[in-house]
Structure 1
């Protein structure tokens, strides 16, 4: 692997900002502001614009080995051996916190790493954590700012009316991509592989990353899928039962960019071929036995925790249009929720600041 030709993150042509992107991003901000206001009118409380449903919050340790080859000893995080406390959340992608688990949809995972040292973006300098977010699909259908503006608006317009939604989708050349988000296999969350979907700087190079369930029991649980006869909150029950009796372990893997045509940075809807550009393990996440559905943790996360891929190391800079959307939309969404809920975000400095009771 060390002899492969990896694209450097600052090479010409890595990022190409399309005309009108700033206007499209502002339109997404306005859509989310409207969504938050509507949710507040209905519920008297506003959740995140995406991933509103929490299935569990756990604490663990992110372990970086000291024997990585040179091309993987990138950024302050992976340059040397280290262990970092982590708090993690399992979620579902839709903004409704009451959405039925039996409805197929992407599932999410987020990590906040503590004790990370190095040059941080301005967003995270007051509370130096590395935020890492994942989705259970390897590609992002909201491939850029323009697509995000159009598809989010359509989904909000039609709500649960898939017939009307798909009629509008069918007028688009990317119809099947967007329909596929409603046909995702619903597996046990402990067996669900998670992906960055978008590209990131990886020190000198460019990567996508993935979190792979690695224990034998987790891999076996992949056979367990949500059925129509299950309860509407089956995923949190499965997850809680697993964590009460088992340790979880994941491999954190990276896939490096070698060809900008095959591995575009600005089109998050294109999967990078894993046979041509293989995944490599650079760390592992270990989660000891615990109660994953602690109501104190759940409420604290939902009311106060901010996860933002721009909250972290400069050497892990988010790349591409979808991440430029996040850099504007996430703070705007957080500000609107703060205004409506009258709850301040809490920027943790250590994992001990995250309450258990």
Structure 2
């Protein structure tokens, strides 16, 4: 007999717990971002993102909201059936552009165009951004711990790439052994021990919670077309090919039509699904994911020069770009608001290219 789920918990501003030292934490994050940004700017002669600097594919598709949804899912962007142009940027997480032999978690940024509704404070244009990684939890529970991790990461930016490659190979073996006994480490993955998998076959998670109109939710992007699911877990050989992932994605997207389900996980239990601890997975047994939209990307050149320039160089992605109905929640997201803007402002000034939200 199917388990009866409790009703989704309502959103209210009181579900967030602000810390007294959040200003100090943000200053520490921005200082680490500055160290990464300035180092990479000097090395590359241009400014790149402070995190997820290396893109592996830039794609364009159509994001279609489902025609019929349960009442609790008819919220914000998903309040009515609609279709939107969308851009995807597939990446890995460091702020320096490393050889792909350094195996790191994958990221996927999705920008949905022509979204109507009340905007978040400071959100320009009419777009809705979703920032995701290929794992269900964040590498730190809160912004203060993230600031500490970022400080250490900043010290390693663009140094001893050969050593990073060697360390990554060791960490991959260790993490694979842990995974075999159900103990795979998120921390090891973030340090270069992630399996070197094809990003097109991965499932991506928001990892942090967001307002979902009257409720609260996390998001997931799951491959559903057979062309993508066949790539799930597929390994990429990187030896001798520093841009092997980009080359693989380009080769694959030239011949497949890709389709993902965009899913919502409503918060139903305050204890099991915390707002302020991003390292806690919201288990599907207690809060199932439900599809609310489809993302379809036809076959194309995933490294088209014009699209790369327009998206990779001239756009920013931020969880704070979007609707008030999808307000980011929790300390990690509060820290992201100014930190992401800080990074984008540095890139715009250094490259002499202001960031603009796209329109159709």
Name which of structure 1's ranges 182-191 and 278-287 shifts more when overlaid on structure 2.
182-191
Confirm or deny: 8 A CA contact 2:275 2:330 kept in the other structure: yes
Contact 1:108–1:135 at 8 Å: present in 2 too? yes
Aligned mates of 2:156, 2:114 — CA distance in 1: 44
Aligned residue number for residue 90 of structure 1: 90
Q: Among residues 9, 12, 18, which one is paired with 2:11 in the alignment?
A: 9
Residue 109 of structure 2 corresponds to 110
CA distance in 2 between partners of 1:130 and 1:158 (Å): 33
Partner of 1:354: none
What TM-score results when the alignment is normalised by the length of structure 2?
Answer: 0.88
Aligned equivalents of 2:220, 2:298: Cα separation in 1:
20
The answer to whether residue 241 in structure 2 is matched with residue 231 in structure 1 is: yes
How far apart, in 2, do the equivalents of 1:41 and 1:190 lie?
32
Distance, in Å, in 1 between the alignment partners of 2:35 and 2:240 is: 33
Determine the structure 2 residue equivalent to 1:312.
322
Post-superposition CA distance 1:113-169 (Å, at most 9, x none): 1121111123224x11111111112111133221121001112224566799xxxxx
Matched, 1:291 2:301: yes
Partner of 2:335: 325
Which residue number in structure 2 is paired with residue 140 of structure 1? 138
Structure 2 counterpart SS, 1:221: coil
Question: 2:231, 2:188 → 1: CA distance?
Answer: 26
Q: Which moved more, 1:149-158 or 1:257-266?
A: 149-158
Distance 1:118 1:242 in 2: 36
Residue of structure 1 in register with 2:61 after alignment: 60
State the Cα distance separating 1:300 from its structure 2 match: 2.6
* Worse-superposed segment, 134-143 or 307-316: 134-143
- Whole-Å Cα distance in 2 between the matches of residues 118 and 277 of structure 1? 27
Alignment of 1:191-202 (within 5 A): 191-202=201-212
Match of 1:69 in 2: 70
Which residue of the partner structure matches residue 167 of structure 1? none
Match of 2:171 in 1: none
Counterpart secondary structure, 1:124: coil
Change (3 A) 1:220 1:177: closer
For 1:320 and 1:230, the matched residues in 2 are separated by 42
> Where in structure 1 do 4 or more consecutive aligned residues deviate above 6 Å?
161-164
Q: In the alignment, which residue of structure 1 is the partner of 2:221?
A: 211
Residues 248-307 of structure 1: CA distance to partner in whole angstroms, max 9, x if unpaired? 000001111111211111111111111221111111100011111112211232321011
| Counterpart secondary structure, 1:226 | coil
SS in 2 for 1:336: helix
Match of 2:177 in 1: none
Cα 1:89–1:74 change in 2 (3 A) is same
Check the 8 A contact 1:244/1:289 in 2, yes or no.
Answer: yes
Secondary structure of the corresponding residue to residue 49 of structure 2: coil
Contact 2:100 / 2:238 at 8 angstroms: preserved in 1? no
- Say whether residues 1:178 and 2:155 are aligned partners: no
How far is the alpha carbon of 1:179 from its aligned partner?
2.5
User: Are the aligned partners of 1:196 and 1:210 in contact in 2 as well (CA < 8 Å)?
Assistant: yes
- Alignment partners' CA distance in 1, 2:328 and 2:66: 24
Kindly tell me the number of residue pairs found equivalent between the two proteins: 338
Worse-matched range after superposition: 341-350 or 3-12? 3-12
Do structure 1's residue 256 and structure 2's residue 266 form an aligned pair? yes
TM-score, length-scaled by structure 1: 0.89
Contact between 1:54 and 1:298, CA under 8 Å: does it hold in 2? no
User: 2:283 maps to which residue?
Assistant: 273
Contact 2:57 2:303 (8 Å CA) reproduced: yes
